């Protein structure tokens, strides 16, 4: 066990908050260990630390830099053979309810006003004893291009995941974000093609972002949509960059984007209302956001923010894990196909656990 995971073990025994994370394609893991068990919340968004935001709440928790110790460790990974040959998606868990939820969504969606809603579900599975070190190292090996993390706070619980989606990245006045939508299983033997429904959905996400940041930025640049692989899945991705009009624009941009149309829908207020009334469970921190705020923790460079959407994530409980998965629904969505998409997405976490 390395110094980093010895520190993790000690913090867990003492019930003290911490987060481990490794950025996409990074060679290092960063550990942030809070020295007390207080639950801090963002106010001005000028605070420095690690934010961990829920899907729907007025208060956003964070681990403050000023109350924490930082550990940085190089990823020394042995390439273990991971045999997932007999691990298959569960195409039955919650199927009837979810397909009925998609049906309900397609009935109220209207191209004249309500374009898209992202519905989700939760799978609770029983597991044996899991070591955080094993979970984290599996994520590093399986999902190098994702944002990998393990977060613990005694007042929040234990969460981990491997997210493919950036919410926002800033360096001084420069900012960058992405529009991500569409999902299909990766297969090396086939050419990736996208349906009109998936292309339309991704364009809606791009338009949402541009419309919500334009009052706070200038010099906007938008890439051509392209296919991005994340673990065992493909997505359609568009890169968006701009410059902040002022440094104080950061709070406005974050709150304007969150929750993104990729995890909520369009228009956001109508979609969010549908989700809260019809999903019949609390998303908690699934589809929230997380990451460094106003600080790059391994270099201590200020004015740098690096936030990700909390997708492909799970909540670790005693003897059980809650896996959260969802998909974007438009008028043309097929309930069974959307359910299959969620089952495939759940495999991201199951490959880490088994």
154-193: pLDDT as tens digits: 999 999 999 988 999 999 999 999 888 877 887 755 688 8
pLDDT for position 205: 84
Q: Report how far residue 154's alpha carbon sits from residue 147's, in angstroms, rounded to the nearest whole number.
A: 23
Residue 49 has pLDDT above 70, yes or no: yes
pLDDT class for 136, splitting at 50, 70, 90?
very high
Query: Which pLDDT does position 307 carry in this prediction?
Result: 98
- Number of domains observed in the structure of the chain: 1
Res. 269: pLDDT tops 80: yes
Helices (H) and strands (E) in the chain, counts: 7, 21
Helix (H) or strand (E) holding 101: helix 95-108
Whether 81 shows a pLDDT value over 90: the answer reads no
What is the rounded average pLDDT of the residues 312-321? Answer: 95
Residue 44 has pLDDT above 90, yes or no: yes
pLDDT, residue 204, reads 82
112-121 average pLDDT score: 91
Looking up tokens 């984290």 gives 136
pLDDT digits (tens, 9 = 90+) for 325-341: 999 998 889 999 999 99
pLDDT at 68 over 60: yes
Indicate the average pLDDT of the chain: 92
DSSP letter string over 228-292? EEETTEEEEEEEEEEEESSTTHHHHHHHHHSSPTTTSEESHHHHHHHHHHHS-S--TTTT-EEEE
**316: enclosing H helix or E strand:** strand 313-317
- Please report, for the domain that includes residue 153, its CATH number: 3.60.120.10
Instruction: Give the per-residue pLDDT at 158.
Output: 97
Task: For residue 290, give its domain range.
Answer: 3-353
pLDDT-derived band at 1, boundaries 50, 70, 90:
low
pLDDT in tens, 7-36: 999 999 999 999 999 999 999 999 999 999
Residue 78 has pLDDT above 80, yes or no: no
């Amino acid at each position: 066990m390395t110094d980093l995971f010895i520190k993790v073990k000690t913090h867990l025994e003492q019930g003290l908050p911490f987060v481990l994370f490794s950025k996409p394609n990074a060679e290092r893991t960063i550990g942030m260990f809070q020295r007390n068990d207080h639950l801090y919340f963002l106010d001005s968004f000028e605070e420095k630390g690690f934010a961990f935001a829920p899907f729907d709440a007025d208060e956003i928790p964070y681990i403050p830099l000023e109350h924490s110790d930082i550990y940085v460790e190089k990823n020394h990974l042995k390439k273990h053979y991971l045999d997932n040959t007999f691990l298959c998606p569960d195409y039955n868990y919650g199927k009837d309810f979810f397909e009925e939820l998609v049906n309900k969504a397609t009935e109220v969606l209207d191209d004249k006003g309500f374009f898209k809603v992202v519905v989700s579900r939760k799978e609770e599975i029983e597991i044996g004893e899991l070591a955080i070190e094993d979970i984290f190292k599996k994520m590093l090996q399986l999902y190098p291009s994702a944002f990998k993390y393990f977060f613990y706070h005694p007042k929040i619980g234990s969460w981990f995941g491997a997210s493919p989606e950036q919410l926002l990245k800033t360096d001084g006045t420069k900012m960058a974000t992405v529009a991500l939508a569409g999902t299909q299983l990766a297969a090396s033997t086939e050419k990736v093609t996208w349906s009109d429904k998936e292309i339309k959905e991704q364009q809606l996400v791009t338009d949402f972002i541009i419309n919500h940041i334009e009052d706070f930025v200038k010099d906007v640049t938008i890439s051509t949509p392209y296919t991005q692989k994340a673990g065992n899945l493909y997505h359609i991705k568009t890169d968006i960059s701009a410059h902040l009009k002022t440094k104080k624009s950061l709070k406005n941009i974050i709150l304007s984007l969150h929750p993104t149309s990729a995890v909520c829908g369009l228009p956001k207020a109508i979609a969010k209302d549908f989700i809260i009334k019809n999903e019949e469970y609390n998303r908690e921190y699934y589809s929230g956001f997380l990451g460094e705020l106003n600080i790059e923790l391994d270099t201590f460079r200020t004015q740098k923010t690096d936030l990700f959407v909390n997708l492909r994530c799970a909540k670790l409980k005693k003897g059980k894990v809650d896996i959260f998965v969802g998909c974007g629904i438009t008028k043309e969505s097929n309930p069974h196909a959307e359910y299959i998409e969620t089952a495939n997405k759940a495999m991201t976490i199951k490959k880490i656990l088994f």
